[in-house]
Amino acid sequence: MNTPRQSSLLIRFALDTLGERNAHHEFEQLCLDVARLVLVSNLVPATGPVSSGGDQGRDAESFWTSLAAAPSPVSAFARLASTEKVVLACTIQKDRVPAKIRRDLASICGQGSPVQHVLYFTVAPVPVSTRHTLEDEARDVYQVKLDIFDAVALTDLLTRPELYFLAERYLSLPPLPGISDASIGDLSVAVPEDLVEHRIRGREALLTALEERVANAGGRLVLCGMGGTGKSTVALALARRVAVRRTVWWVDAATPAAFVEAMREVAVQAGVERAEAREVWRNHEAARDVLWDALNRSTTAPWLLVVDNADDPAAVRDWIRQPVTGNTVVVTSRDQRSESWWTSAAIHAVAPISEAEGAEMLRELAPDAGPKGDAVHLARQLGGLPLALLLVGKYLAMTSGDLVLPESEVPRTFAAYRESLDTEFAEAITALPHDPHGPLARTWEMSLDLLEMRGTVAARPLFRLISFFAPEPLPVALLRRNVLAAANDFKNLSSSGLEAAVRGLLGCGLLHRRRFEGLGSTAETLIVHPLVREITRTQPAAIEAASVYATLSTALLATVAKGLDPIVPANWPLWRLLLPHCVHVAADTTHAAALEHQMRGDLADRAAVYAHQSGQWSVAEEQFGHALTAYAHTAADAGPRTVLTTRHNFALLKRDQDRLDEAEADFGDILRGATRVLGPDHANTLTARHELARLRLDRGDVEGAHTEFSRLVPHLIAVLGPEHSTTLAARHELARVLRGRGNLAEARNSFEQLIPDMANALGDASPNTLTSRHELADLLLELGEVEQALDEFEATLRQERLTLGHDHPSTLVTRHNVCYALLQLGRFDEAEAELRAIHATWARIAPQGHTSSHRAQGTLAGLLSATGRPAEAEGHFRAAAEALVAALGPTHPETVVARLGHADTLRLLDRHAEAQAMLQSLLTSVLASHDTGHPSLLSVRRHLADVYFEQEQDAAAEHQLRLLAEAQSDVLGTGHPDTLRTLSQAAAVALRQGEANRATRELAALVDPLASHLGSDNDDTLSARLNLAYAYLLLGDSAAASRQLTDVLMAYENGCRAPDELLASAQDLQRQLG
């Protein structure tokens, strides 16, 4: 198995050898698929052989679509569709590539329809300078935008998780760990292989009609009938018949959550990027649009989608739209009312099968149970109901070969079984789905009787117990003998007895097995037919013992959960299967005693922690609420420590939800309670102190947080030890504080020491370890080590996607910071697409707003402003700033950054008066809450000086610059480059006001220090020299002016700088000097 790094090298090698294999067409298709997925979706291959020029040098070109102009497109196709004429060209030529690009560009632009944009792919590396030259030529000569994707860029694209399958498909590369395979969260939508254990009978006419409909018109078909008639069996037979000629997906709609999740997997297999599907699936309306956009534009084989067990039409009706002709959706449901379904749907009733067909089914399942005539009589009495026929047939298969003892009463033949049934069976058959006393229930009760008679006494109570869990796959890990044995129904149960009960229930068809695999683990589960589960729960004996089964199901869940740390990602595959059952039992406390309330509280708390860690915040909040409610019913002295722990975990959730006021109040109460109950040095007390200090940092109080963490970290090391999770977390926060104070080198050193310690103590995949790696990458970005920062971000992101998921809050924060790196590398298009996706995902998972969402919106606004779209940027800046003011306050550093960005955008829109008013208001607020050297205050003064200068309010501009320089001198020192820059700008403003003498003195004292610190060809150095030359000219000292001007011009003549506006100003001054 290759690592991502190895696969990157393999991709480069495979691209480099395409020419040796004459694989131009494979490369052309690879480039077309890459472009469609990440650049321009509405591309089609151009026609005409390449050698003859029949495609005019165009390997693909865009077609017209109105989707690109639609407001806020939600599908991948619509978002990437272009209204421009876009042409794709590619080459596997490796030498003289620039000349090849020029020839192809001339061919593309010299004939055919006009082109606005060319995407050019090549297997050869193209130096950055060459690429820029070619792009400039395309713009100047042909007035087209040219984007070149060379071997390096294409390799970078193909190593993305969502695109790596293309490398597998076209370059024959092996799968990359954790990328090509679906995670535990992606349900299988394959057609079940073991759903039917017998030949399907009595359905030929129906199957023929269905197959004909699928082959021709398609559309929406509903197979309806009462429970047990074999609707799923008919759908399975149809799926197998048509699978040779079309794609078939199978979705179980027994529970709404599983149905929605499975439809996401259908969307992925229909062509939606897995990452995109996970992002949009929070919003069902948007998800439906994405799903049907993919299904209706599928260019592969026609498809059949089976939606099984859709007994609640309202849960699936809006998801199932009319497919395009030739594609089909088949729904199975117990709801037989035509008004429940679509008017255009073809509804087919699935009735019981005939006596003769039922008899054949019985004889196939139990060939030794008697003659055909007896089978016919029994089938008639069973009403031709396939489920009943299956259960009875499997029962007789177990008994018909047994040795017959003289006094045995076990039915072994068709005739004996018929005699044992109630005489009312035939008349009651139509009431089967709703009658717990009816004959269908009697069929499996007889199977349970048989198991009991054979000594498997645990089978009946075990089957009833399983029916009291949620209607979801039940992990076998829950069947703990030691827990079951504590109940009277399972008294003296042995391990072999439990195994025999499970084997027996599987053998008689009452249970079925299903295996789940993901994240390196396998979970075996048991499934009960929905109808069987429903009727079993309403049996009189089950109702009478409901409190026992409810308590026992909770005890089993609590036992497994207790040994399954919800913080550890390795446990999450099993937690994912447990959570529906935890949610199911949490709300039912009808029969709970004090001891059980404690157990229910513990279970709900652990389920809530898992839901919080996995990003399911609404579920987490609900479960924390259940936990605290359960603890409120316990004895007063039973568990104050436990309650404090749950309140602590709930407060952590509130903090992550940006409910900072609530979180701070809760942590304050928890700290006071923990100090009183547990003592000041208990781990819970110290953790509460840690969280309160962390909240201070989150609110922008860097100095207060520094004071607290500087005291707390050594205390935690002494009391809890250096490897305790709270100690490591506090070290992380202290490193963040150091960064916040501007001690970047010290912060970097702290993180680099911390990360190995965290990995050793908590594991590489621990969320805390990933968070520290992310913070280090962000620090590297601030230090200007952009490439290294991007590598670290992407490594962290790969691990987070594997363990946390694509749209987990922590993953979203890392994705946002990847965008920062992309922006600094000039990869604006990638950054913009990702920022829009991140902001949309936050809107779905935190609809009440979240600071990370506002940050993403602010970053997007900055990108829009920098790329010439200030009007759109202004709206985003305004929304982000207002939201951050509400969430963090008007002077929080992040709020200040957003408000400064908003002011800058107003300046670009020539709305200087508004910008000035905004900055003056911001200055007043920041002055009231920060000292004169605070970084936020310095930034505000800088921006306000710029606005004053642009509006020719020179006295006000100079005043702000002087105050800024004074503060910088105090904080940074008089010789710091930032201080020197500000003093130079203040002198320039003084010069513009006619104060040539003062400006000359100041600039003369500054030019040499600026050159020393920044370099002789730096913008600020050259600007200072040019201003000084102009000052000398005003004072009549032409010689001194010429000396300064010569130094400026030399920077250009030496080739250190390209021509720019500063050179034009210098040349203008040179003309004035004569």
Tokens 């993953």 sit on residue: 811
CA-closest candidate to residue 376, choices 398, 394, 353: 353
At 272-319, the pLDDT tens digits run 877 677 767 754 457 888 888 888 876 556 899 999 988 788 888 888
Give the span between the Cα atoms of 566 and 445, in whole angstroms: 39
- Residue 67 has phi, psi (to 5 degrees) of -65, -35
User: Which residue shows structure tokens 């600094």?
Assistant: 824
Q: What is the per-residue pLDDT across 744-788, written as a single tens digit (0 to 9) for each?
A: 888 899 988 998 998 888 887 777 887 888 888 888 877 878 888
Q: In what order do the strands lie in the sheet with 247-252?
A: 247-252, 303-308, 328-333, 219-224, 346-349
Query: Quick check: 542 and 550 in contact, CB under 8 A?
Result: no
Domains of the chain: 4-171 (3.40.1350), 204-349 (3.40.50.300), 355-454 (no CATH), 849-951 (1.25.40.10), 965-1074 (1.25.40.10)
Q: What is the pLDDT of residue 428?
A: 34
pTM of the entire structure? Answer: 0.50
Distance CA 871, CA 911 (A): 11
- Tell me the percentage of the chain whose pLDDT exceeds 90: 11
What is the pLDDT, as a whole number, of residue 683?
Answer: 85
Point out which residues pair with 986 in neighbouring strands: none
Classify the C-alpha dihedral 242-243-249-254 as positive or negative: positive
CA gyration radius, the chain: 36
Task: State residue 49's pLDDT score.
Answer: 34
Question: Could you tell me if 214 and 328 are in contact, meaning their C-beta atoms sit under 8 angstroms apart?
Answer: yes
Residues of the chain with pLDDT under 50: 1-3, 47-55, 65-76, 176-185, 283-284, 422-437
pLDDT at 65: 45
**What gap in Å lies between CA 782 and CA 382, rounded to an integer?**
76
Please list, in sequence order, all residues whose beta carbon lies within 8 angstroms of the beta carbon of residue 410, skipping any fewer than 6 positions away.
399, 402, 450, 453
For residue 67, what pLDDT is reported?
A: 42
Alpha carbon distance, N-terminus to C-terminus of the chain? 73
Cβ neighbourhood burial of 931 (10 Å; 0-12, 13-18, 19+): exposed
d(CA 115, CA 96): 24
Three-state secondary structure of 1001-1069 = HHHHHHHHHHHHHHCCCCHHHHHHHHHHHHHHHHCCCHHHHHHHHHHHHHHHHCCCCCCCHHHHHHHHH
Beta-bridge mates of residue 220: 329
Per the DSSP assignment, residues forming a β-bridge with 839 are none
- Greatest CA span in the chain, whole angstroms? 133
Other C-beta atoms lying within 10 Å of the C-beta of residue 1061: 7
3-state secondary structure of 248: strand
The CA distance from 740 to 376, in Å, is 83
Alpha-carbon span 799 to 1046, nearest angstrom: 56
The secondary structure of residue 490, as a DSSP letter, is G
Residue 705: the pLDDT is 87
Burial of 715 (0-12, 13-18, 19+ CB in 10 A): middle
